[in-house]
Chains A and B, each alone.
Chain A
């Protein structure tokens, strides 16, 4: 038996990684590969997909998921998730609409109150979570049900119908529409303003995550909240703040819904919470927290937008729509997983 001499091994945690494996180690890389593959696929089967106007439509579809996915991604990195997001968007829109209408106010009053309410719902979610130590699944499921009931009950009690009265002829509507629901003409293509709001929100969230102390707090709270607390991270504030950030996103999207369509149906929004979570998961956020990125959530939303609209551009039999959507989501997530595992082995 001879012992072979081995080269001195450095600790793998401080070992140098090649640039390639650094890139492959990013949380969003799997989603990016999936997105590129999907893009090439639809460009091949449906040439109309590549028209600038079509891309603008895909981006719009992606942005209405992506705006929420920003907040949801941050929250998931922070180790929690929120099932009340889908209806919270509608709650915010209903609040702005019904308040302005009932008191015949300038719609901006309603918009401001809706922001306060949305942040408040986020605060309550976070506060109950911290106080009771219950899992966020239970707490936000309860909020989801309560908001659904409030949306239906209050809308009928105040407006007398299940959808809100139109506010399109009220003061401030046009200026609010310009901010939340207008289009920008870029080289002859009408691009919805939500696309730009989305990109801006992703940029801000990425900056917070990667360049600020708050970003470190978010990763630490999600990774191991007890350890984080032990080293002085304000876990309680961070988590409540994250739920409020989700509330802010719900407000932005809620205002878009309101000013794009002037009326809101109280039963809308149910089920969308899963789309936001799916976008974040495809984008590389772990369900257990502590890992992920805001850009990943954005790519996840873009994948959803491409799949959703690409099936229409490809003119496939619509009966199969949901199946293909599910299959694509699964494939994207598997690609994500495989790429990440490979990167970790290197």
Chain B
């Protein structure tokens, strides 16, 4: 019987301890009550309500797409658009989502072209059905060919070269470019861009779905490669983890990054990270939805058949302060 009693005690403790702790409020941090309602404000367009589908190749749980989506939502709010957001990282299933949107008779489709060939058939159907398409984020070289009005995005290779240029002028010779998803074309292009400007760049693959493995693998790489003088993270959460790897390995290497979030902006302000390349994802979401609305409003075609570049924009210690405030809002 004695062990039964101890079970009861445990159960009681499991209930009582948190209850007692309920009085223990944190003196700092935590949620701040909503200050004001979000959105850019201003009047809503008087055009009739239209339906737009935004279909991306986002993997579930990637912070980057939050920002794209926020931009698209703000444009929708202003333009009187009913926005439907869908995503699937697998090309074939993303194409099925496009076809579903066509079946639903949406007024416009905004789509990422990470795997253009997989989407070609579905986009042909959209063209036949007379539904305007705008592409964003990935695939600017195939966008016009697949019948999109225009493309909002940043060229990954150019972004990589911008980073490489900056590192070369600052005298870095041996960067390590950390790819969190093996076989991802966009990420490979970023590192290829860096390597084009700094020939001794090495690529390191890590398992992005497990931060502890990201940390320990980068630490291992730094222990093996003493010559490394800068490590480049290809996404804000990964860059922040790389900072821990460097202190863990006792390395003197500096850190540069791609993409943005509030914590990253803060680290740039503090001087812990050299700089980041922002492709301004919010602008991609906003621009794509707005371009579709413009097309409905007056048949406008923005960009003159050319992609509209939203980056690369380098954010360093000088400009980070200003960006930080927007990053905290989830806009940058």
The proximity string for A residues 89-110 relative to B, scoring 1 for CB distances below 8 Å and 0 otherwise, is 0000000000011111111110
Cβ of B50 < 8 Å from any Cβ of A? no
Give the tally of cross-chain contacts (CB within 8 A).
Answer: 171
Contact B63–A107 (Cβ < 8 Å): no
Given known pairs A54-B223, A260-B215, A308-B217, the reply for A105 and B22 (CB within 8 Å) is yes
Complex alpha-carbon distance, A269 and B212, angstroms: 10
Sorting the interface of chain A by its residue count into under 10, 10 to 19, 20 to 34 or 35 or more gives: 35 or more
Tell me which residues from 60 to 80 in chain A have a Cβ below 8 Å from any Cβ of chain B: 60-61, 64
Q: Is the beta-carbon distance between A152 and B61 smaller than 8 angstroms?
A: yes
Tell me, yes or no, whether A140 is within 8 Å of chain B by CB: no
Chain B hits for A340, CB < 8 A: none
Residue A257, interface by CB 8 Å: yes
Checking B223, B244, B330 against A51 with a beta-carbon cut-off of 8 angstroms, the contacting residue is B223
**A171 at interface, CB cutoff 8 A:** yes
Query: Which of the four size classes fits the interface of chain B?
Result: 35 or more
> Are A266's CB and B29's CB within 8 A?
no
| B309 beta carbon closer than 8 Å to chain A | no
Q: Which A-chain residue is minimally distant from B216 (CB atoms)? A: A61
Q: A53-B250, A162-B66, A261-B240 are in contact. Are A107 and B26 (CB under 8 A)?
A: yes
Closest to A194 in B: B212
Option from B65, B220, B240, B248 in Cβ contact (under 8 Å) with A312 = B220
Is the beta-carbon distance between B60 and A261 smaller than 8 angstroms? no
* Closest residue of A by beta carbon distance from B64: A162
Q: With A113-B18, A169-B29 in contact, is A60–B61 under 8 Å at CB?
A: no
Asked whether, in the complex, the Cβ of B209 is within 8 Å of the Cβ of A105, the reply is no
- Set of chain A residues within 8 Å of B225, measured between Cβ atoms: 315
7 A-B interface contacts by CB (under 8 A) = A60-B216, A103-B31, A105-B21, A107-B26, A166-B263, A256-B212, A268-B211
Question: In the complex, given contacts A103-B31, A169-B28, what are 13 additional A-B residue pairs having Cβ atoms less than 8 angstroms apart?
Answer: A53-B250, A54-B220, A60-B212, A61-B216, A105-B22, A106-B25, A112-B18, A162-B65, A166-B263, A263-B237, A268-B210, A268-B211, A269-B209
B binding-site residues for A, Cβ under 8 Å: 14, 17-18, 21-22, 24-31, 59-63, 65-66, 182, 203-205, 207, 209-213, 215-217, 219-221, 223-225, 237, 240-241, 244, 248-250, 263, 330
